A and B are shown apart, each in its own frame.
Chain A
Amino acid sequence: MIAATEPVRILSKSPTDDGEGQFLEVSMGPQHPSTHGVFRMDVVLDGERIVKLKPVFGYLHRNHEKIAENETYLGSMPYTDRLDYFCSLTNNWAYALAVEKLAGIQVPERAEYIRIITAELTRFQNHAALIGFLTQDMGASGTPLMYAFRERETILDLFESLTGARMMCNYMRFGGCRVDLPAGWLDHAKQFAATLPRFLDEFERLLATNEILMARTQGVGVLSKEFAVNAGVTGPILRASGVNYDLRKVDKYGIYDRFAFKIPLGEHGDTYDRYMVRLLEMRESLNILNQALKDIPDGPIVDPKTKIRGFKPKPGEAYGRIEAPKGELGFYLISDGTPNPYRYRVRSSCMMNLTVLEELCIGRNVADVVVILGSIDIVMGEVDR
């Protein structure tokens, strides 16, 4: 299973003072089927047991922030697609939100609804794909992932007919959205949403009470409430540890206060809870989606007063954040009155969540690392930026 591209070596000296016997240092990744991208873990093993785990980042450092500081504000929008490439629309939204705060732009109501619809669809496909990958890491090779990708393809079709691209949507604009919904899109979306409960039931029945899944995930990688809060963990992982913190409720950005939905919480903070929280969140997403599809009003989709060309916000700073599928995604911008930001910083949800990896893995077996990492849900494009 381990395809190390670095040599495996026996440590002559033990890494801890009280260690006995020999420790094996193994480098998992950066080319490793379970690392979800180019991520490396330097693992020190005592037999099968993890003694030490050092994450090594930077294999996908694409200079996003530096490039953005030399780009116009709008010019960075396509780059945000490529942060967390599963969820381009939520990335767009977080960035648009930050710029709107910076420049004091209002968003028309219809655009807010479109944003919520696309964001919830994004959340849905992200969680479905994640569960597929997670179970694939546990050895359920293919089947759940195929089911997840079947739904994902339909969602991508909706995105494509709306934005012109399957993955890199580049859809949100400051003060609204780029284009209006094409004719018939809402009906398509409604029809699709009507099929989702069946998919969810099927997906849940397929896995939730599966004996192997429960054995591999329950009690594995327990993240305590306090530690999660202290480490700055956000998103489904935090909620799986039982902390009721969801920016959709806390910040009520956009128009989330108009929708009735629940926040699923875990009890144990183990991998099974993280899996279950996502499954339940998909149901809540569907719930929001249905309400939004029903209530969406007519009207403009972009604030007509916003200047797209020659956009220069007044000097100042702003931090815009949203509840992205993986956690709190924030953009911090400093404007010095020129067409490009003076400082552009991404608060990446996956990166912060990844910092607890060692804590979750110490004392577990090698095979558990793969599952724990899968349940954290990382995308290297956002971790390394």
Chain B
Amino acid sequence: MDEHLKTELRKQGIVATTLQELYNWGRKNSLWPLNFGLACCAIEMIAASMARYDMARFGAEVFRPSPRQADLMIVAGTVTKKMAPQVVRLYNQMAEPKYVISMGACAISGGPFKQGYNVLKGIDRYIPVDVYIPGCPPRPEALIDALMTLQKLIDKQSLTGADRPRHLQAEAPSEFIVPRFGAHDLEPPQNPEVWDAPLVNISLAGTDDAGKH
């Protein structure tokens, strides 16, 4: 509908909207996060929900202890290999539609502890992540920014068509493989359905940089 007409109507006290807008408006303004902290970043997450930053302004202050009641999983902290199965299982237990914010360097890629033998190099190897927040730890403002980004993403979703969100596609998976401890590493080391190993060209031969390092 024409935006101009809509504004005119609103002036007359008539609200015109589409089902899709209403649906997205409802979802984006009541994101209930899972009460779930992993490490240092979780403290900034708590700070974001306290009086000074007040995430409640964005409809995301109802931290639920049970995954069944939550829409948003904020992976705040280092995911170790011992914890990764639990994180994936919690994600599986959440009801659709569900979203994931990967908060902090550790949750994105292992962060400062990437070289550790027990640290998972990014939770996006096992579950799809909607928004990444860099930082160690990201400031509460960054978390709020991520939340607003997520709200914009939700707002853009269309209910029909090929690009409709996952929870409206009957055949799309809503549960993902829970990794197990193998002989050397988690098995599988990543879930190919959600994660593609980026191809890195490590050969320096023939480039100008060769030999400089």
Binding partners A and B: yes
Report the bound CA distance from A381 to B76 in whole Å.
13
Chain B interface size, as a band, is 35 or more
B40 at the interface (CB under 8 A from A): yes
Which residues on A sit within 8 Å (CB–CB) of B52? 149-150, 153
B67 at the interface (CB under 8 A from A): yes
Q: Which residue of A lies closest to B86 (CB)?
A: A5
A residues less than 8 Å from B182 (CB atoms): none
Interface class of chain B by DSSP: loop
Instruction: Knowing A59-B82, A85-B40, A146-B50, say if A31 contacts B90 (CB, 8 Å).
Output: yes
Q: Interface stretch among A32-40, A175-183, A203-211?
A: A32-40
Q: Report chain B residues within 8 Å CB of A153.
A: 47, 50, 52
Contact present for A66 and B116 (CB under 8 Å) = yes
B163 to chain A minimum Cβ distance, whole angstroms, is 33
Q: Is B174 an interface residue (CB 8 A)?
A: no
List A contacts of B42 (CB < 8 A): 37
Query: Any chain A CB within 8 A of the CB of B115?
Result: yes
CA A166 to CA B137, docked complex, whole Å: 9
CB neighbours of A167 from chain B (8 A): 40, 43-44, 137
In the bound assembly, the distance between CA atoms of A119 and B91 in angstroms comes to 39
Interface size on A, residues (CB 8 A): 35
Query: Cβ of A5 and Cβ of B89 under 8 Å apart?
Result: yes
Across the interface, which residues of A come within 8 angstroms of B63, CB to CB?
33
> Is there contact, CB below 8 Å, between A380 and B113?
no
Q: A320-378: which residues lie under 8 A (CB-CB) from chain B?
A: none
> Is residue A297 within 8 Å, beta carbon to beta carbon, of the partner chain?
no
**Min CB distance, A263 to chain B, in Å?**
28
Task: Report whether B51 and A62 are in contact in the complex, using a CB–CB cutoff of 8 Å.
Answer: no
B90: A residues at CB distance < 8 A: 5, 31
- Residues of A within 8 Å of B117, CB to CB, are 63, 66
Tell me which residues from 49 to 87 in chain B have a Cβ below 8 Å from any Cβ of chain A: 50-52, 63, 65-67, 77-78, 80, 82-83, 86
How far, in whole Å, are A307 and B32 apart by their CA atoms in the complex? 51
Residues of B within 8 A of A59 (CB): 80, 82-83, 86
**CA–CA, A303 to B188, complex, Å?**
51
A3/B66 in contact, CB under 8 A:
yes
Are A58 and B39 touching (Cβ within 8 A)?
no
Q: A residues bordering B, Cβ < 8 Å?
A: 1, 3, 5, 30-33, 37-38, 58-64, 66-67, 70, 78-79, 82, 85-86, 145-146, 149-150, 152-153, 166-168, 380-381
Listed A/B pairs (16) with beta-carbon separation below 8 Å: A5-B89, A5-B90, A37-B38, A38-B39, A38-B86, A59-B82, A60-B38, A60-B39, A63-B119, A66-B117, A67-B116, A78-B112, A146-B50, A149-B47, A168-B136, A380-B39
